């Protein structure tokens, strides 16, 4: 059985919702706050020296990290193109573009604010944190404009993809739900389209209440 090292509401939720959607059996191992708890860091470090949440361990013992890579792999394991458009499909290029934009441009900004000491002296101060959030907001608005252009109900239009599962979780992170509702309504709509899926109801409730 797949093991998912997780914390409720963290990036592992993106993976958990996809596992639940596909119906792939998995075991959850809650790791604790690896940013603040040395014991939690040491325990996860034995599995993944990068100390990342999510970390996923396959049945053969192979360790998987990086949420985009995990999303692509899960589609292979499920033998499904429900969330990853198949080769030469019309959505394939846009899916790759925006999935990588999410994980390369937006997702790292949470590391900048959660662990600022990696990038600046001390904790960066209030202005540093505000600048990170404002930059993140500008990136989200770029995605919202793209979602609006495509017309919904999902990010890429009529076609649900793993990107919508990222959005379903990330709209709960800073700058939080009220901002997304008001400032990026098209992304919020895409997130809502995932929340109502019966396959993910239990996993979503466990992570976000």
Give the integer Cα–Cα distance in Å for 139 and 5. 28
Owning domain of residue 181: 92-197
Number of domains in the chain: 2
CA proximity to 194, closest of 166, 164, 172, 158:
164
CATH number at residue 19: 3.40.30.10
Q: How many CB atoms lie within 10 A of CB 54?
A: 22
36, 53: one domain: yes
Domain presence at residue 56: yes
105, 71: one domain: no
40, 73: one domain: yes
Confidence class of residue 148 from pLDDT cuts 50, 70 and 90? Answer: very high
Residue 43 buriedness (CB in 10 A; 0-12 / 13-18 / 19+): middle
62, 99: one domain: no
Span 41-84, pLDDT tens digits: 999 999 999 999 999 999 999 999 999 999 999 999 999 999 99
Domain presence at residue 87: no
CATH number at residue 186: 1.20.1050.10
Span 11-36, pLDDT tens digits: 999 999 999 999 999 999 999 999 99
Domain presence at residue 28: yes
Q: Which residues contact 186 (CB under 8 A, 6 or more apart)?
A: 144, 147, 148, 152, 155
Query: Which pLDDT value is given to residue 120?
Result: 87
Query: Which pLDDT value is given to residue 116?
Result: 85
Span 156-197, pLDDT tens digits: 999 999 999 999 999 999 999 999 999 999 999 999 999 999
123, 167: one domain: yes
């Amino acid at each position: 059985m797949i093991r998912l090292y997780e914390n409720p509401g963290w990036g592992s939720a993106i993976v958990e919702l996809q596992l639940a959607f596909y119906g792939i059996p998995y075991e959850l191992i809650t790791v604790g706050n690896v940013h603040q708890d040395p014991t939690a860091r040491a325990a996860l470090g034995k599995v993944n020296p990068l100390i990342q949440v999510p970390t996923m361990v396959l049945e053969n013992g192979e360790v998987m990290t990086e949420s985009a890579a995990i999303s692509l792999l899960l589609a292979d394991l499920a033998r499904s193109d429900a969330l990853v458009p198949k080769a030469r499909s019309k959505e394939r290029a846009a899916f790759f573009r925006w999935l990588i934009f999410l994980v390369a441009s937006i997702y790292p900004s949470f590391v900048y604010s959660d662990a600022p000491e990696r990038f600046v002296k001390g904790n960066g101060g209030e202005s540093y944190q505000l600048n990170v959030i404002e930059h993140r907001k500008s990136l989200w608005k770029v995605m919202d404009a793209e979602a609006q252009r495509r017309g919904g109900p999902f990010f890429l239009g009529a076609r649900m993809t793993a990107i919508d599962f990222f959005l379903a979780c990330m709209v709960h992170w800073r700058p939080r739900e009220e901002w997304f509702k008001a400032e990026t309504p098209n992304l919020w709509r895409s997130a809502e389209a995932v929340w109502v899926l019966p396959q993910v109801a239990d996993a979503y409730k466990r992570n976000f209440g």
